[in-house]
Amino acid sequence: MKRIWQAIKNRFNALIQGLENGPGGDRYGSVFPDKPKFFLGWFIKKLLPKQRIPESKQQKIRELHESGIIVYALKYRSHFDLLFVTHVLETLSLPLPRVIFDVRLYPWLPGWHSIRLFLTHMYHILRYHRLPNPYQSDYYSKNLLAYRDGLIFLVGEKGYYERSLKTRTHDPLLCLLETQASSEIPIHIVPVVMLYGKGPRRQQKSLIDVFFGDQENPGFFRKIVSLFRNRKHTLIELADPVNLQDVLANVPEEVSTKVDLAFNLRQKLIEEIDLHRKAILGPIFRSKLELKEIILRHPRLEKYMQRVAKSRELELWKVRKMADGYLEEIAAEYSISLILLSYSILSWIWDNMFDGIEVDMESLERVKDTAKEKTLVYVPCHKSHIDYLILSYVLFENNLNTPLVAAGKNLAFWPIGPIFRKCGAFFIRRTFKGAKFYSEVFSMYVKVLVQLGHNIEFFIEGGRSRTGKLVLPKLGLLAILIQAIEEGFCDDLAFVPVSISYDRIIEEEAYLKEISGGTKEAENVGQLVRARRFLKKRYGRVYVHFAEPISFKKYIESQNYKLGEMPSKQRHAMYRDFAYRIISSINRVSLVTPFALVSAAFLTKPSRGILRSQFWKIVQIYYDYFNIMGVRMSNTLTNLERAVVDTLAHLEKSKLIEKLKVDDELEDDPVYTIEDNKRLHLEYYKNNIIHFLLPASYVATSILTRKSFTVSSQDIYDDFMFFRDLFKYEFVFDADHPVEYQIRENLEAFAMLGFM
C-alpha cells in the first residue's frame, strides 16, 4: 500500500513538475512553429497575394542575418498580422521570426503541445495568480542569442501606456537593448508596414471604423473583408533596419536610462512606420467641397476677390461664385474605386500593347525615401498622351501615393475628362492671358494642394515633344510651386525628374504628319474610339527611370539665393536655371533603347543605303562610347547582337527599312536602305539619345575643322561654347558638369576608342 501511495505521489509530483516547467521545458510558448497549424494558416496562404519587396532590400536583410539577429517590428498586436508576415517572409525565403514577444501562440502550436501549454498556464494562474513571465527568466534573450529571429509589437492592445506601467518587466525593446548590451552579436530591428488596401486616409471616422476598427488598425473581420475586396492591394513593406549596436553607441545626452532609450527607440520606429504609410497612402483625404472651402476662405484670395469686386463694381458673392466656377473647372477629385478599376484595365492594356514596363527600382527606392520626408513634385518628360497613365500606374504598382496631375484643359472632354478628374487630374488652361482672376484662383489651388501634402505631377515642357528630344521648359507652373515655398505654404518641395522612354511611340504617325505640315487634330471622342487600333499592334517596351530628387531648399542654399530679396529679373533667371537643371536631370537618366541605337546608326550615313558590315561597325562604336561615358542602356542591350537583330526584324516588318536582294557572293553583307519618307520615323528615335552625343560632336567637329588635325584645348573650348550658344534654343545642356570636364571626358573617350 505504501508503495502504491509513493507511486501515486511520484506521478502527481511529475505532473506538477510538468505543469510547472511546461511542455518540453517551455512554460511560455512564445516560439513560433515552422509552419502554423489549423485552418487559418492554410487560409492565409491561399488568400494572400504575392508581395513585391525590392530585391535589394531582401538581399540586405539576408546579409544582416548571416552575422546577426533580425527582429521584425509590427506597430499593432495581431495574430492575423503575425501569420501574414510569416507567410510573406517564407515565400521570399527571408529569415522567419521564431521568438514572438507578448503573444500566446496556442492556436498555432501542435494540438497536444498547445493543450499542455494551456494547462501549464492555468496551473500558474491558480498557484501564483499570474502567467509565467518570460522577461524575468531571460527566456527571450536566450532564444534570440541562439539565432532564433524574433518579432515584436510596438503598441499593445490597450495602447502606449502599457509600456510605462510595466517598464522593467514587460518591454520588448528594453529587453532587446539589454540583450544587445551584453552580446557582440548585432541585433537589427526591421519595421514592418502592413496595409489592407490603398484607399486614402480620412479625417473623420465612420461607423464601420467604430465597430470594425479603423483603416490604420482594422479588426479581424475588416481585414478578412479587405482581403476579399482588395486582395491585390493588400501589402507588406519592410523599412530600413535599425542596428541596436548603433543605437547604444549614439545615446542622446538627454537620455539617462535604458528605459528612456527604449521609449525614444519606440517613437522612432513608430514614426518610421507612419512615414512609410504616408508615402503609400498620401495625406488625409478631403472632399472636393471641403477643399474648395479652404481655398475660397484663404485670406490671400479673400483680399484679391474684394479688390476684384471693387474694380468691377460687383457684389462680393458674385465674385466668389466666379471663383467657385473656376475651381469646378480646375479641381481634381479622388475615387479609390475608380483608381482600382483603372489599374486593372491599364494592366490589361499594357499587356496587349507592350512587351513590359521596365522600371529602375534602385532610383524608385530613393524616391520612396524622399516621399517619407517631403512633398514630391514629379516632372516627367512628355512624349505621349499615355505618359500620364504610365507614371501613375508605375507608382501605384510599386506602393507609392499617386500624384495629382496637371492636365491640359483639352483633355477635359467627355467621357475621358470626368474619369481623369476622379483619378486625380486637375485641369489647366493653355494660356492665362487675359484671365488674371483665373490665374489667381489656379495658383491658390496649387499652393493649397502642396500645403495639405499632396504630391503633384506636371510636364515642364508644356506639351508633347513631336521630335523626340526634350522641349525647352515652360516656367508658369514651376513658378507657382516655388512661390508656394516662398509664401510659407510648405517648407520645401522635392522635384523628381522622370524619364519615360518607349521603343515605339503610339502617336508616331500623328507626329510625323504634324512635322510634315499637317494640322494637329483636337482631342475628342472620335479619337478615343479610334484608339482601339493601338491594341492591335505591339510597341516594344516602356522604360521608366527616376533622377535624384532635387530639394528646392537645398538648391537655393547652394546658389546663395535669398528669395525675399530677389528682383524680378533675377528671380526669372533663377526659375529658368532651376527648370534647365530639371530637364538636364531627365536627359541624364534617360536611357539608350535598341530602337534609338539602331536609328542613330542608320542615320549616321547620309546615303539611302548602308552595308550590314558598316551598320554593325557604327552600332559597335556607339555602344562602346555609351559604355565608356556611363550612359544608361536598356537591359535588352546586355545582349547587343540579339537586341539589334530583333530591332532590325521589327523595322523590316514595319517597312521602315528594306533589305535589298543581292548576288550570292554578297549574301553575307547585304545592303539596308531607307526611303526618304521613312527617315523621319528614325529621326524621332535617334533624337531620344541625341543629347548624349552633343558634347562628342562639338569636340569632334572642332578637331576635324583644323587642317592639320592638331588643336589646342582653348580652341576646342571656344568652339564648344560657340556651338552651345548657337543651339541654346534647340537643346538643354548639362547643367552640373563644367565645359572643361565635358571636353576632357570626351577626349579620353576618343583615345579609348582609338580615334586619337
The mean-pLDDT minimum among 5-19, 21-35, 459-473 falls in 5-19
Judged against a pLDDT cut of 60, whether residue 522 lies above it is answered with no
Q: Number of helices (H) and strands (E), helices first, in the chain? A: 32, 17
Judged against a pLDDT cut of 90, whether residue 366 lies above it is answered with yes
Bigger pLDDT: 189 vs 564: 189
Share of the chain above pLDDT 70, in %: 82
Q: What is the tens place of the pLDDT at every residue in 393-440?
A: 999 999 999 999 998 887 777 778 888 899 888 999 887 887 899 999
99 closest CA partner among 141, 130, 161: 141
Pairing of strands 99-100, 150-155: parallel
How many whole angstroms separate alpha carbon 302 and alpha carbon 305? 5
Phi, psi of 31 (to 5 degrees): -100, 120
| Residue 238 bridge partners (DSSP) | 192
pLDDT at 209: 62
- The distance between the two most distant Cα atoms of the chain, rounded to a whole number of Å, is 124
Retrieve residue 57's grid coordinates: 532590400
Starting at the earlier edge strand, list the strands of the sheet with 671-673: 609-611, 671-673, 658-659
Q: Which residues contact 747 (CB under 8 A, 6 or more apart)?
A: 699, 716, 756
Residue 752 banded pLDDT, cuts 50, 70, 90: very high
Q: Which residues contact 330 (CB under 8 A, 6 or more apart)?
A: 426, 427, 428, 441, 442, 445
DSSP letters for 91-125: HTTPPPP-EETT---GGGS-HHHHHHHHHHHHHHH
pLDDT at 586: 93
Residue 67 banded pLDDT, cuts 50, 70, 90: confident
How many whole angstroms separate alpha carbon 485 and alpha carbon 376? 13
Retrieve residue 10's grid coordinates: 511520484
Return the sign of the alpha-carbon dihedral for residues 680, 684, 686, 691.
positive
pLDDT at 447: 95
The mean-pLDDT minimum among 168-177, 264-273, 373-382, 744-753 falls in 168-177
Q: Which secondary structure element, helix H or strand E, spans residue 379, and what is its range?
A: strand 375-380
How many whole angstroms separate alpha carbon 446 and alpha carbon 295? 10
541 closest CA partner among 581, 596, 494, 502: 502
Q: Which residues contact 754 (CB under 8 A, 6 or more apart)?
A: none
Average pLDDT over residues 103-117: 64
CB 475 within 8 A of CB 459: no
pLDDT at 195: 86
Q: Which amino acid is at 618?
A: I
CB 500 within 8 A of CB 363: no
pLDDT at 660: 78
pLDDT at 672: 86
pLDDT at 690: 92
How many whole angstroms separate alpha carbon 389 and alpha carbon 531? 15
Phi, psi of 99 (to 5 degrees): -95, 110
Question: What domains are defined for the chain?
Answer: 47-108+134-281 (3.40.1130), 335-589 (3.40.1130.10), 596-625+633-680 (1.10.10), 689-756 (no CATH)
| Residue 151 bridge partners (DSSP) | 72, 100
The mean-pLDDT minimum among 15-19, 141-145, 661-665, 696-700 falls in 15-19
Judged against a pLDDT cut of 50, whether residue 738 lies above it is answered with yes
The mean-pLDDT minimum among 252-261, 374-383, 512-521, 648-657 falls in 512-521
Bigger pLDDT: 104 vs 397: 397
495 closest CA partner among 503, 505, 484, 506: 484
| Residue 609 bridge partners (DSSP) | 673
Judged against a pLDDT cut of 50, whether residue 164 lies above it is answered with no
Average pLDDT over residues 434-455: 92
CA angle 168, 171, 174 (to 5 degrees): 80
Q: Which residues contact 702 (CB under 8 A, 6 or more apart)?
A: 711, 715, 716, 719, 720
Retrieve residue 223's grid coordinates: 481585414
Average pLDDT over residues 496-522: 76
Query: Hey, is 385 helix, strand or coil?
Result: coil
Instruction: Tell me the pLDDT of the chain averaged across its residues.
Output: 82
How many whole angstroms separate alpha carbon 526 and alpha carbon 313? 44
CB 65 within 8 A of CB 149: yes
Residue 523 banded pLDDT, cuts 50, 70, 90: low
Query: Hey, is 688 helix, strand or coil?
Result: coil
How many whole angstroms separate alpha carbon 538 and alpha carbon 506? 9
The mean-pLDDT minimum among 38-47, 231-240, 550-559 falls in 38-47
559 closest CA partner among 543, 545, 539, 580: 580
Pairing of strands 234-238, 187-196: antiparallel
CA angle 449, 451, 454 (to 5 degrees): 45
Judged against a pLDDT cut of 80, whether residue 228 lies above it is answered with no
Average pLDDT over residues 221-229: 75
Report the length, in residues, of the chain.
Answer: 756
> Omega into 670 within 30° of 0, i.e. cis?
no
How many whole angstroms separate alpha carbon 406 and alpha carbon 379? 11
pLDDT at 19: 46
Average pLDDT over residues 522-533: 51
Q: Which amino acid is at 553?
A: K
Q: Which residues contact 194 (CB under 8 A, 6 or more apart)?
A: 74, 75, 81, 84, 85, 235, 236
Q: What is the tens place of the pLDDT at every residue in 322-348?
A: 999 999 999 998 888 888 888 889 999
CB 622 within 8 A of CB 601: yes
508 closest CA partner among 324, 735, 682, 259: 682
| Residue 60 bridge partners (DSSP) | none
CB 721 within 8 A of CB 739: yes
CB 621 within 8 A of CB 700: no
Retrieve residue 550's grid coordinates: 532635387
Average pLDDT over residues 277-287: 86
Q: What is the tens place of the pLDDT at every residue in 576-635?
A: 999 999 999 999 999 999 999 999 999 888 878 888 889 999 999 999 999 999 999 998
pLDDT at 43: 65
CA angle 7, 11, 17 (to 5 degrees): 140
How many whole angstroms separate alpha carbon 447 and alpha carbon 168? 49
pLDDT at 370: 94
Residue 536 banded pLDDT, cuts 50, 70, 90: low
pLDDT at 226: 74
pLDDT at 666: 56
pLDDT at 34: 63
Retrieve residue 679's grid coordinates: 527617315
Average pLDDT over residues 635-651: 90
Residue 30 banded pLDDT, cuts 50, 70, 90: low
Average pLDDT over residues 81-96: 86
Judged against a pLDDT cut of 60, whether residue 527 lies above it is answered with no
DSSP letters for 474-529: P-HHHHHHHHHHHTTS-S-EEEEEEEEEESS-TTHHHHHHHHTTPPPPPP-HHHHH
| Residue 425 bridge partners (DSSP) | 405
Retrieve residue 300's grid coordinates: 490671400
Residue 141 banded pLDDT, cuts 50, 70, 90: confident
Cα 84 → chain centroid: 24
Bigger pLDDT: 139 vs 357: 357
Judged against a pLDDT cut of 50, whether residue 528 lies above it is answered with no
Residue 22 banded pLDDT, cuts 50, 70, 90: very low
Q: What is the DSSP letter of 233?
A: G
Judged against a pLDDT cut of 90, whether residue 544 lies above it is answered with yes
HSE toward the beta carbon, residue 547, CA cutoff 13 A: 26
Judged against a pLDDT cut of 50, whether residue 313 lies above it is answered with yes
Query: Hey, is 242 helix, strand or coil?
Result: strand
Q: Which amino acid is at 338?
A: L
Three-state secondary structure string covering 527-593: HHHHHHHHHHCCCCCEEEEECCCEEHHHHHHHCCCCHHHCCHHHHHHHHHHHHHHHHHHHHHHCCEC
